[in-house]
Amino acid sequence: MTKKTVRDIDLQNKRVLLRADYNVPVQNGVITDDFRIRQSLPTVDYILSQPGTSLVLISHLGRPEGASDQGASLEPVATTLQELLGKKVRFVASNTGEEVKQASSSMQPGDILMLENLRFNPGEENNSIEFAKAVVEATGAQVFIQDGFGVVHRAHASTDAMAKLLPSVGGLLLEKEVDTIAKIMQAPARPLITVVGGAKISDKIEILNRFIDFADCVAVGGGMANSFLAAEDVRVGKSLVEPGALESAREILQKAKKTESERPFNFMLPVDVVVSTKTDGSAPTRIVDLSSHSLADIMAYPKRPERLAVEIADDEMILDIGPVSAGYISGAIKLSNTVIWNGACGVTETKGLAGASGPFAHGTKMIVDAMIGTSRYHQNRPFSLVGGGDTVGYVEEQGLTEEFGHVSTGGGASLELMAGRNLPGIEILGDK
């Protein structure tokens, strides 16, 4: 972190405007996962520990269509934050105007005020300097602190325009995210394996190329693996495929094969897959042996395996990597010292019927077990960096966030930082 942080600025007797990332899941007004809120607490506590400070919190939540979308209100976040802090957090159902002015003017040292969802105002995503000025003037803020790592890859009013109006520094979470990712990308403990999943190749072309350049192993799973298989002329049935990304997939495969010929490196695609005719878990699943056909031979013995044992039918979809593929990846993880994991390897959100395990989550679960060990006393864990919204959501749902080396609060931001891009919300902050 080459930018100033809260430790590098005098906060005493100041009104502090803190941009946090409280984009958390809410159902019927109740927060179902408070991971991002808890990650902001060190910065909040540090600010409030400075004599005479008062704190105004701003964030977005979801992608609301307007101020009438009360399902995207930050009021439940204020309630949860109040419970976590054990200190009153006042909520104002606006982010500019007279109501905010009145609430701010009555603040005393140690007070906390949370404003309504920034995205209720179109000026937020339009990076409107007028909107930024309205927020700053209404709150009377004297210092701006950026701690919303999950949004710093976007130039919005609360990541760019506001930082131009006030002395601006990073928060402790932002510093932790940047330092952790930078250390892994610059000087990882080797061997380093990267596991890349998710739906689309187009979202991750740049990071895949970067990983091929410096990782010891790249393993591909999830929906994006389908496009790689299709690019190698594997029949994939009704599986999710990006037709426009097939040429990019071929180029990545060509680069990976060239790298394998030049240095110790492995690029792993699924050698077996789990398929079904439906994604909701209501139809039977089966394993298709795409590569060696050993699994198919063993299952069919003493007969020859049927054609379907090694081919995907026209009405079937690939919904998970198979156990052999998961075993290969898990073995590589066990021999590594650093793992970067971004993207689940199957449709992990599908629930099993009658209490059965998620039918398309077995590959992801095997990989997780390899990273963290089946026992919390496992001593040979690699350092694991987990990123990506769906991946983090799965880890949180399983109650495993504390088991990994670092679970990032930013999906797109972490990928762009790993790819070596400058992030607008960080670049605008003052240099150390």
| Positions marked active-site | 36, 200, 389, 412
CA quadruple 168, 174, 180, 184: dihedral sign: negative
Rounded CA-CA distance 407/387 in Å is 6
At CA 377, angle to CA 373 and CA 382, rounded to 5? Answer: 45
Rounded CA-CA distance 274/355 in Å is 19
The strand pairing partners of 58, in sequence order, are: 19
Q: Residue 234: which residues within 8 A CB-CB, separation 6 or more?
A: 290, 312
Side chain identity, residue 86: G
Rounded CA-CA distance 387/383 in Å is 13
